[in-house]
Amino acid sequence: MKKQKLVIVLTIVMLIFTACSKGNSEKGFSDSQADILTLTKLQESGVDFSKEQLVDFQVSVDTEENGRRLQDRLAKESFKCSIRKDYEGSRWTTECSKEMFLEIDSIMNEQQLIDSISRKYNGYIDGWGVLVKPNKNNE
């Protein structure tokens, strides 16, 4: 039973990052459609929308230096950020996290804010996600 739940959780996490990645938006989903689809899947998976969740926004930048500068700038907007080299290619990812309610307007507003700031550092918003944890009541 636990293995089945782990597979479900991993599938949902993959769906979240796939549905909300910039690449998928370019293949037929508008950004808002991808966000709505992801929120729907999160709700269906049992995520409690009445509580704030830790939302991770991924930002692609061209250099480590720009990633660090973006990280410092977004800290002023109450984001906790980390930076890592992308597994493929020459770009870097700045992952910025914030506790917030899972509301479409809030998600879209934060993405617009991050994207507008990241453009100054040769970056762009590249998706968002929420780590889905199994509901302990259902174990």
- Let me know if residue 29 belongs to a domain: yes
Q: Is the pLDDT of residue 26 over 50?
A: no
Say what the pLDDT of residue 20 is.
52
Query: How sure is the predictor about 46, in pLDDT bands with cuts at 50, 70 and 90?
Result: confident
Question: Side-chain half-sphere of 78: how many Cα atoms within 13 Å?
Answer: 7
For residue range 99-116, list pLDDT tens digits in order: 999 999 999 999 999 999
- Let me know if residue 50 belongs to a domain: no
pLDDT above 90 coverage of the chain, percent: 61
Calculate helix-pair angle for 104-119, 31-44, nearest 10 degrees. Answer: 130
- Let me know if residue 52 belongs to a domain: no
As a residue count, the chain comes to: 139
Mean pLDDT of 25-46: 77
- Opening angle at CA 19, ends 56 and 109, nearest 5: 50
Q: Is the pLDDT of residue 21 over 80?
A: no
Tokens of 81: 């950020």
- In DSSP terms, 81 is beta-bridged to 96
Q: What mean pLDDT is reported for the chain? A: 82
Say what the pLDDT of residue 24 is.
42
- Domain count for the chain: 1
How far is the C-alpha of 5 from the C-alpha of 1, rounded, in Å? 6
Q: How many CB atoms lie within 10 A of CB 24?
A: 17
Domain that residue 35 falls in: 2-45+60-133
- In DSSP terms, 85 is beta-bridged to 92
Q: Which residue has the tokens 């040769």?
A: 122
CB 70 within 8 A of CB 113: no
Q: Is the pLDDT of residue 15 over 50?
A: no
pTM of the model: 0.76
At 124, which helix (H) or strand (E)?
strand 123-130
Q: Is the pLDDT of residue 127 over 70?
A: yes
Say what the pLDDT of residue 88 is.
87
- Let me know if residue 139 belongs to a domain: no
